[in-house]
Amino acid sequence: MSDRTYSELIQLETFEERFDYLALQGVVGHETFGFDRWINQQFYGSRQWRQLRRQIIVRDEACDLGVPGRDIHERLIVHHMNPLRQGDIVHGTNHALDPEFLICTTHDTHNAIHYGDASLLAKTYEPRRPGDTKLW
């Protein structure tokens, strides 16, 4: 599979298309950090990551998968579109800090991408209209 990129993702108009593009279909990727999880945690606490994270949030206007109108109000995650591995951090590859490989997601969308389960996605809000309800 080739690398997923922000440039390709934003060509897809709907949230569903973008989710399908990113979904890992529940397939476990390459080994990530294992016992060296401290490397991952140190990276996410770094000044460089925090600055880049803010940049991505501004770029995506804090919208889920960058889709306008899908505002994220809590638990915003800046997601690596391609699974991040220990070597990406240790060797400073593009995957770790390149905005082309990052996107904003909600916590639920992030889990749905990793576990390939669209049922985890938030349901779209449909505004109330006059006459759309009846008494019991």
Query: Cα separation of 65 and 74, whole Å?
Result: 14
Report the pLDDT value the prediction gives residue 109, as an integer from 0 to 100: 93
Report the pLDDT value the prediction gives residue 122, as an integer from 0 to 100: 72
Report the pLDDT value the prediction gives residue 104, as an integer from 0 to 100: 97
Report the pLDDT value the prediction gives residue 116, as an integer from 0 to 100: 74
Report the pLDDT value the prediction gives residue 56, as an integer from 0 to 100: 97
The model's pTM is 0.80
Helices (H), the chain: 6-9, 15-22, 37-44, 47-59, 86-90, 94-97, 107-115
Q: CB–CB of 100/125 below 8 Å?
A: no
Strands 102-105, 77-80: parallel, antiparallel or unpaired by DSSP? antiparallel
- Mean pLDDT in each 10-residue stretch from start to end of the chain (136 residues)? 87 93 70 62 88 96 95 94 80 83 94 81 72 64
